[in-house]
Amino acid sequence: MSQGQQRKYFGTDGIRGLVGQTPITAEFVLKLGWAAGRVLAREGRGDRRGKVLIGKDTRISGYMLESALQAGLSSAGVDIRLLGPMPTPAIAYLTRTLHAQAGIVISASHNPYQDNGIKFFSAQGAKLPDDIELAIEAEMDTPMHTVDSALLGKAERVVDAAGRYIEFCKSTIPGNAELRGMKLVVDCAHGATYHVAPSVFEELGAEVIKLGVQPNGLNINEGCGSTHPQTLQVAVLEHGADLGIALDGDGDRLIMVDDKGEVLDGDELLYIIAKSRHESGTLKGDVVGTVMTNLGLEHALRAMQVELRRAPVGDRYVMDMLRQGGWSLGGESSGHIICLDCTSTGDGIVSALQVLAAMLKAGKSLHDVKRGMNKYPQTLVNVRMEKKFDFAASPHVKNTLREVEAELADTGRVLLRASGTEPLVRVMVEGVDAQQVDALANKLADAIKVAYSQQ
């Protein structure tokens, strides 16, 4: 993006907001569909007319937004293929394999049902380049008009979308990696994976106990899935399962639970996959995390002579760094893991399969295969503020930060950053001593509160 150009509607992960409030209204999304159709399929005419896929998660608002997008795209002369409820990574995959000009996802990922969003994939199944997003925004500011009736786009439903994606997921691990004899609990968060994730693991031979597979439009991510793994922990222990798999509402995040009921976050899962690939000689270069990635992962990788590269928070930035470095593996603590040697975006089901393949190859349980990485205690404190405040320029905050860093020395690290989505500053302190880490994080948070109150 050139200097001075800013997105008006697109954030780091598409367009997102509260349903019924701009931009997540039927009127806005109708115009967005038209504008996207104009930009993405400008050359599509006659036999070469554009084709765009639309998929969604299980939120009740998906019906309204899908219809609005469909009408907008059709009015721009673009043909539509409707996928229905499908995981975000499935839409990226199908956009590539069905040779569409773009894929559109209607989802707010791990957010509650009251939110929704629109996210675009390019023909390659990657997030749209900045210049395309800017072109769509520019088109939004022009008057909407409909193509001649003979040129209106047609809509068809892709009836075998789920089956295509299930087969793809299974193909990402070796053909001899059977899960026969394993008992898995799979929590689909009442989201987009409810009708595909259990089938993937069952068809590979596992016994699957299903959670979060009864979406009603309002219960997506509610007390379940990757953001609420407590239900999964209980179920794994109750059923004597080998492990549990928790996905989020749109299926791009993964959290796992071992047979002891212990939760494994994205950092630990990234370690397991990286170690397995390193041992087999298939790890391509360095591993990418974020500024929030646990120091324990950095040290565990370094012991294997693999470097952890840190990107800003957000899978978009992890992806950018992977592509720039020519590397293949990265992810976030939240469970958004990217295996570019398998697919073009973060995929919870594919990531779970990579962990299972690593377990089978090592002949170890999930609890044992995670050994080798020791997570450092980490405390995160959010300091809320009603108006913008340049905390980094405050002498009081600067002095307190110096004191905290001096006390930690080389046994930990500190991160202060303004949230990109909420009016708050995030204070993160990490070190070897949990009590010290907690005290120092609160000391810094208090310094920011004092400086904010005195401005």
The half-sphere exposure of 330 on its side-chain side, counting CA atoms within 13 A, is 32
CB 242 within 8 A of CB 183: yes
Active-site option among 61, 107, 109, 226: 109
What is the layout of strands, in order, in the sheet containing 337-339? 308-311, 287-290, 329-331, 337-339
Query: For 143-161, b where at least 16 C-beta lie within 10 A, e where not — what string?
Result: eeeebeeebebeeeebeeb
Determine the Cα–Cα distance for residues 176 and 356; give it in Å rounded to an integer.
12
Helix (H, G, I), strand (E, B) or coil at 118: strand
Residues 6 or more apart whose Cβ sits within 8 Å of residue 168? 93, 97, 343
Q: What is the β-pairing status of strands 254-258 and 263-264?
A: antiparallel
Determine the Cα–Cα distance for residues 276 and 356; give it in Å rounded to an integer.
11
Alpha helices of 216-285 — where are they, by DSSP H?
Answer: 230-239, 266-280
116 sits in which H/E element: strand 115-122
Determine the Cα–Cα distance for residues 306 and 287; give it in Å rounded to an integer.
7
Determine the Cα–Cα distance for residues 237 and 240; give it in Å rounded to an integer.
5
- In 3D, which of 439, 422, 433, 274 has the Cα closest to residue 354? 274
CB 201 within 8 A of CB 349: no
- Concerning whether 109 is annotated as a catalytic residue, the answer is yes
- Where in the sequence numbering do the catalytic residues fall? 109
